[in-house]
């Protein structure tokens, strides 16, 4: 071993391949050996870098399988509305942002995080008249916490060219009593709006977002992300533009963490255009690799846009929004499937889940392939739908932090009977379906141990509800950690290189201050990361 190699000693190492060890030897960017301290010390010479873990616990580096990294990084530089308690608070925060950042006329104001459920006695969406009070000289776009609904001011509508005749399938521009757009934009219409802002973010801006977001993720022990980046914070470019920035950074060895790129291709023509090129799932290296095609099939429960088979319990007549017709979705999936492209579909409601299952079943029957297609969220279903999921070998990218966030509104939105079939992580795990962990940043916190805490306890940060929400659906600590390690690596075909601290795999590790297998389950959320390593290099350390 030479100076590029390291030995980690005097710790507790959970390899996640069934072993508990004391020490590890790393040779360049790979794990050479894991074992007892006596075994590993035999590999040491005077040039070996020794790292004393001081009794701390080592785990494989965490893999977050559902992020919007660029949007997350940029969100750290824009108006934070995550804890706004009303529309007046939103107005004041945006005014303060304009003043503090010396924003010039015509410059877009972007913000995210408002949630009308936190607005007390006036739980409505902010409209253009509200946002016009912030500025009539700057176009404004403020996204709801879920990212599926946005509010804009009058100037923003004017700049993009939205009027009473504007219509985008799979979404809506809400109108006032006079039939004019009121500044509230939903689902596919919002995506169209963002891409038509006539602003192309330059590479320096995107690079800054990637670096800023990655720096935060390393603090939580995240060494790899599966990310879709043309979606958030009003981004007006396209996948090729973002991919070019990632490509430059990968070539210059500037990426702090590993990227598995989800590609937003919302329409059939977008998929056909992409498939004319040679880029396919799995191409690239271990720092930047092409992942699945991503599409959104419905919205969210909080915004009442998730597609349900029956009406919302608290909004009769509303079943949410299905972005695609059945035949349209099937044709999109088929195009990708036949070209060996992995597919990743957003589904929160049971109507969208049923439509997705039918599409996957059909393409698998016509052309059987194990492409490990994916469903993001999968929050509302039933036992019959879950049985069908089991047969088509999909991976589910779940967000257990949303389990902690959503429990208090679920019975109101979908009623007690359907609530029992929501966030059924225990049932799905027992069926042998691959569940992978994700944060959906910037929607939720990237704190992995909060996600593990929520999966194990089925409670929010304050410890509610007292006995856990649907406690029979809880995961064990080991199962929860596997969603961020072993299972997550499988979802990107990287189980031979990531996910466990096994000899020959990439030396991506995280050192934490407490043993998650020993602490009281309620203390899981309090575990802190002490050190994060990618390819054997220390990328972040608390010290």
DSSP sequence for 375-429: EEE--B--HHHHHHHHHTT-EEEE-HHHHHHHHHHHHHHHHHHHHTTBS-HHHHH
Phi, psi (degrees; rounded to nearest 5) at 50: -100, 130
- Mean pLDDT over each residue of the chain, to the nearest integer: 94
Q: How far apart are the first and last CA of the chain?
A: 26
Segment 103-116 shows an average pLDDT of 91
Q: What is the pLDDT of residues 136-167, one digit of tens each?
A: 999 999 999 888 899 999 999 999 999 999 99
Q: 3-class SS at 338?
A: helix
Q: For the residues of 47-95, what is the DSSP string, one character each? A: TPEEEE-TT-EEEEPEEEEEE-HHHHHHHTTSEE-TT--SHHHHHHHHH
Mean pLDDT of 308-316: 97
pLDDT digits (tens, 9 = 90+) for 277-300: 999 999 999 999 999 999 999 999
Is the pLDDT at 541 greater than 50? The verdict is yes
Give me 506's structure tokens: 């990439």
Band (200; pLDDT cuts 50, 70, 90): low
Is 250 in a helix, a strand, or coil?
helix
Is the pLDDT reported for residue 319 higher than 90?
yes
Q: How many Cβ atoms from other residues are within 10 Å of residue 507's Cβ?
A: 25
- Tokens standing for residue 323: 């972005």
Considering only the C-alpha atoms of the chain, give the largest distance between any 2 of them, rounded to a whole number of Å: 80
**Mean predicted confidence (pLDDT) in 339-350:** 98
User: Using 50, 70 and 90 to split pLDDT, how confident is the model at 240?
Assistant: confident
pLDDT band at 231 (very low <50, low <70, confident <90, very high): low
Exposed / middle / buried, residue 363 (Cβ in 10 Å: 0-12, 13-18, 19+): buried
Give helix 350-366 / helix 326-338 axis angle, nearest 10°.
Answer: 40
Strand 140-144 with 149-152, pairing: antiparallel
Q: What is the spatial order of strands in the sheet that 529-534 belongs to?
A: 20-21, 12-14, 57-60, 509-512, 529-534, 537-541
Predicted confidence (pLDDT) at residue 519 exceeds the cutoff of 70: yes
Q: How many residues in the chain? A: 543
pLDDT, position 1: 39
Six-digit token pair at 37?
């301290």
Q: Measured between alpha carbons, how far is 331 from 451 in angstroms, rounded to an integer?
A: 35
**pLDDT band for position 198 (cuts 50, 70, 90):** low
CATH of domain 70-195: 3.10.310.70
Is residue 292 within 8 A of residue 342, CB to CB? The reply is yes
User: Which pLDDT value is given to residue 188?
Assistant: 86
DSSP 309: S
The DSSP symbol for 361 reads H
User: Span 222-236, mean pLDDT?
Assistant: 76
Q: In this predicted structure, what is the pLDDT of residue 2?
A: 42
Is the bond into 442 cis (omega within 30 degrees of 0)? yes
Among the listed residues 326, 329, 327, the one whose alpha carbon sits nearest the alpha carbon of residue 293: 329
The neighbouring-strand residues paired with 187 are 171
Rg (CA), the chain: 23
**201 — pLDDT class (breaks 50, 70, 90):** low
Encoded tokens for 54: 């001081």
In the predicted structure, residue 362 carries a pLDDT above the cut 80: yes
Cis peptide before 465 (omega within 30 of 0): yes
Q: For residues 270 and 294, is the Cβ–Cβ distance under 8 A? A: no
Beta strands in 415-528 (DSSP E): 434-437, 509-512
pTM over 0.95? The answer is no
The domain locations on the chain are 6-55+504-541, 70-195, 267-285+292-475
57-77 per-position pLDDT tens digit: 999 999 999 999 998 998 888
Structure tokens at 48: 């070996």
Please count the other Cβ atoms lying within 10 Å of the Cβ belonging to residue 222.
29
User: Cα separations (Å) of 337 from 155, 344, 345, 359, 365?
Assistant: 42, 11, 13, 11, 12
* Neighbouring C-beta atoms of residue 334, cutoff 10 Å: 17
> Taking Cα atoms as reference points, which of 90, 222, 201, 208 lies closest to residue 540?
222
CA 396 centroid distance within chain:
12
Residue 229: Cβ within 10 Å count: 32
With 0-12 CB in 10 A as exposed, 13-18 as middle and 19+ as buried, what is 83? exposed
What is the architecture, at CATH level 2, of domain 267-285+292-475? Answer: Alpha-Beta Barrel (3.20)
pLDDT at 71: 85
Cα 135 from Cα 142, distance rounded (Å): 13
Among 112-121, 360-369, 405-414, 475-484, the range scoring the smallest mean pLDDT is 112-121
| pLDDT at position 199 over 80 | no
196 or 475: which leads in pLDDT: 475
Using CA atoms, how far apart are residues 235 and 110, in angstroms rounded to an integer?
Answer: 10
The CATH code belonging to domain 6-55+504-541 is 2.30.40.10
How much is the average pLDDT of 384-388?
97
CA–CA gap between residue 168 and residue 173 (Å, rounded): 8
């Amino acid at each position: 071993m030479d100076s590029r190699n390291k030995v980690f000693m005097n710790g507790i190492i959970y390899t996640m391949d069934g072993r508990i060890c004391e020490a590890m030897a790393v040779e360049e960017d790979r794990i050479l050996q894991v074992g007892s301290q006596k075994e590993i010390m035999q590999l040491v010479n005077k040039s070996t870098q020794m790292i004393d873990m001081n009794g701390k616990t080592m785990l494989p580096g965490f893999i977050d399988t559902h992020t919007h990294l660029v949007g997350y990084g940029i969100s750290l530089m824009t108006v934070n509305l995550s804890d706004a308690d009303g529309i007046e608070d939103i107005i004041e925060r945006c005014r303060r942002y304009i003043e503090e950042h010396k924003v010039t006329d015509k410059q877009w104001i972007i913000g995210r995080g408002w949630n009308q459920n936190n607005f007390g006695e006036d739980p409505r969406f902010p409209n253009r008249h509200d946002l016009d009070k912030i500025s009539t000289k700057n176009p404004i776009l403020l996204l709801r916490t879920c990212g599926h609904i946005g509010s804009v001011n009058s100037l923003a509508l004017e700049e993009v060219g939205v009027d009473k005749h504007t219509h985008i399938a799979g979404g809506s521009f809400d109108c006032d009593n006079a039939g004019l757009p009121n500044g509230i934009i939903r689902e596919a219409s919002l995506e169209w709006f963002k891409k038509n802002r006539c602003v192309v973010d330059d590479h320096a801006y995107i690079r800054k977002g990637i670096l800023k977001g990655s720096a935060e993720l390393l603090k939580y022990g995240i060494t790899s992300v599966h990310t879709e980046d043309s979606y958030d914070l009003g981004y007006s470019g396209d996948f090729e533009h973002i991919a070019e920035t990632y490509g430059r950074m990968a070539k210059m060895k500037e990426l702090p963490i590993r990227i598995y790129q989800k590609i937003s291709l919302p329409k059939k023509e977008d998929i056909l255009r992409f498939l004319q090129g040679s880029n396919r799932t799995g191409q690239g290296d271990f720092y930047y690799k092409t992942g699945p095609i991503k599409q959104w099939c419905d919205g969210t429960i909080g915004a009442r846009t998730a597609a349900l088979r029956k009406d919302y319990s608290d909004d009769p007549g509303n079943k949410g929004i299905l972005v695609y017709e059945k035949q349209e979705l099937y044709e999109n999936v088929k195009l990708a499937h036949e070209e060996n492209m992995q597919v990743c579909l957003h589904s929160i409601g049971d109507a969208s889940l049923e439509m997705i299952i039918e599409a996957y079943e059909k393409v698998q029957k016509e052309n059987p392939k194990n492409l490990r297609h994916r469903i993001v969220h999968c929050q509302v279903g039933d036992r019959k739908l879950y049985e069908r999921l089991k047969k088509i070998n999909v991976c589910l990218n779940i967000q257990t932090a949303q389990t902690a966030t959503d429990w208090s509104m679920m019975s109101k939105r979908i009623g007690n009977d359907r609530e029992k079939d929501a966030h059924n992580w225990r049932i799905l795990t027992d069926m042998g379906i691959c569940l992978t962990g994700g944060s959906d940043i910037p929607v939720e916190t990237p704190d992995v141990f909060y996600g593990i805490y929520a999966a194990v306890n089925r409670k929010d940060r304050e410890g509610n509800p007292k006995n856990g929400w649907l406690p029979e659906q809880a995961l064990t600590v080991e199962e929860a950690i596997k969603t961020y390690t072993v299972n997550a690596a499988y979802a990107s075909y990287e189980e031979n290189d990531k996910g466990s601290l096994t000899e020959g795999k990439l030396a991506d590790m995280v050192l934490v201050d407490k043993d998650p297998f020993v602490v009281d389950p309620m203390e899981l959320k309090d575990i802190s990361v002490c050190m994060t390593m990618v390819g054997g290099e220390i990328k972040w350390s608390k010290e």
